[in-house]
Amino acid sequence: MSTTLEAQATGNELDAFRSEAVQFLAEAVDSGVACPAYGAILVPAMHDQARRWQRYCYDHGWAGLHWPTSVGGQGLSRAHTGVWMEECERAGVAPYLNLQGIVLAGEAILRTGTQRQRERFLHPILTGEMLWCQLFSEPGAGSDLGGLGTAAVADGSRFVLNGQKVWSSNAQFAEYGILMARTEPDAPKHRGISFFLLDMTLPGIEVRPITQMTGDREFCEVFFEDVSIPDDALLGERGGGWGVAMAVLSDERGGAGASGVISLRKRLTKMIEAAGDTGPLGRQSLADLLARGSALAALMELHGADPRMAPVSKLANSELGYDEVAIGASLRGAEAMLDSPETEAFLYAPGMRIAGGTSEIQRNIIGERVLGLPREPSP
């Protein structure tokens, strides 16, 4: 739904809405029905609890706040969604089932989908009946999505899909996936790609979970062998998938919004609390992190609504998070390498410099698209 059609909210309305959200979340936490926050990637062990929580939110009118009522949403404004995200962050509660479904697939279908696609997919996304995964990255095309090789060849009223994807979170549970595949092999690099809504139960799809060094299996390899996709699975124009995907990736990088500032402020508070337990060198390291984090929080508060901020906050937050965990493990000492609260975070942290676009790619985006610098030479 375009912003011109969204309901507009006044300050008083948002204040009243915030009070209702705080009360609803407090009661959900006290009753045990609320699902604890798990970040952008749904942890496999919390899969069932997260589905129940999504359904509970839908049944009580807290799902799809700015989505149209015709698809099961509440018909409110994006400002209402922002308030919900903020209060979920304050309460330590997951705001939705998963980013790939509500934010990426859902917003893409709202923006680009046909009426039939909206009717088919949006309601079960909101109820938690339909879990989604993201099928973009490939072994030879991770950050450079324009170089993807997975092919969907047109054959009458269908496409025949062959290829491989990797780092697809929750693909082992997902009923559907958002897929980028090459449909025009002779077209220029970015113009021959189409965007599909892929039924993960189709014959010829094989999902292989990847065991990470944390021991979890959040990510998967996905293989396609002669998968027959109906042509109504195409989202947007054939060959126009790059534009659809760029809007999706913008949603992914900017999805945290104001809740990201609250999360960051929480982390800064913990840094201040931890400083008292360290020596001078530890306090100096934490002070450096605190200065960087405070500057980022201020920047996000001032310019968070500017879409150009998405790669800036993604880069700064990823690098800050990595350094934060590394210094915490260093201060903990050998215990951090064995079994402590820092152990899993330390093992997980390097991946966040890759997920959602590597730090190197974010620097290129900032340089080329935000600062207007010359493009990086392409060999």
In a domain, 11, yes or no: yes
Q: How confident is the model at residue 252 (pLDDT cuts 50, 70, 90)?
A: low
Q: In angstroms, what CA-CA distances link 166 with 119, 180, 250?
A: 29, 12, 20
Q: What is the mean pLDDT of residues 50-67?
A: 96
Give pLDDT, residue 215.
Answer: 82
- Return the higher-pLDDT residue of 379 and 34: 34
**b/e 231-262 (16+ beta carbons within 10 angstroms → b):** eebbbbebbbbbebbebbbebbbbbbbbbbbb
Mean pLDDT lowest among 23-27, 37-41, 114-118, 196-200: 37-41
Of all residues in the chain, what percent carry a pLDDT higher than 70? 92
pLDDT for 256 beyond 70? no
Q: Are 261 and 236 in the same domain?
A: no
Give pLDDT, residue 93.
Answer: 96
Give pLDDT, residue 240.
Answer: 92
In a domain, 311, yes or no: yes
Q: What is the mean pLDDT of residues 89-93?
A: 94
Tens of pLDDT, residue by residue over 189-204, are 788 999 999 999 999 9
Give pLDDT, residue 354.
Answer: 82
Give pLDDT, residue 177.
Answer: 97
Q: How far apart are CA 77 and CA 5, in angstroms?
A: 9
Give pLDDT, residue 40.
Answer: 77
Q: Are 233 and 268 in the same domain?
A: no
Which range marks the domain in which residue 9 is found? Answer: 3-97
Tens of pLDDT, residue by residue over 41-58, are 888 899 999 999 999 999
In a domain, 289, yes or no: yes
Q: Are 302 and 329 in the same domain?
A: yes
Give pLDDT, residue 328.
Answer: 80
Contact residues for 243 (Cβ-Cβ < 8 A; gap 6+): 236
Domain of 146, CATH number, reads 2.40.110.10
> Which of 178, 211, 240 is the last residue before a domain boundary?
240
Highest mean pLDDT among 28-32, 102-106, 214-218, 303-307: 28-32
In a domain, 206, yes or no: yes
pLDDT for 101 beyond 60? yes
User: pTM for the whole thing?
Assistant: 0.84
Give pLDDT, residue 4.
Answer: 32
Give pLDDT, residue 276.
Answer: 66
Q: How confident is the model at residue 5 (pLDDT cuts 50, 70, 90)?
A: very low
Q: How confident is the model at residue 284 (pLDDT cuts 50, 70, 90)?
A: confident
Domain of 275, CATH number, reads 1.20.140.10
Active site residues: 252
Q: Are 235 and 278 in the same domain?
A: no
pLDDT for 228 beyond 60? yes
Give pLDDT, residue 110.
Answer: 94
Q: Are 196 and 162 in the same domain?
A: yes
Tens of pLDDT, residue by residue over 353-369, are 887 778 888 899 899 98
In a domain, 146, yes or no: yes
Tens of pLDDT, residue by residue over 321-364, are 888 888 888 877 777 777 776 788 888 888 888 877 788 888 99
Q: How far apart are CA 161 and CA 159, in angstroms?
A: 6
Mean pLDDT lowest among 77-86, 130-139, 182-191: 182-191
Q: By the 8 A CB rule, do 275 and 283 touch?
A: yes
Give pLDDT, residue 6.
Answer: 43
Give pLDDT, residue 379.
Answer: 63
Of all residues in the chain, what percent carry a pLDDT higher than 90? 53
Q: Are 286 and 361 in the same domain?
A: yes
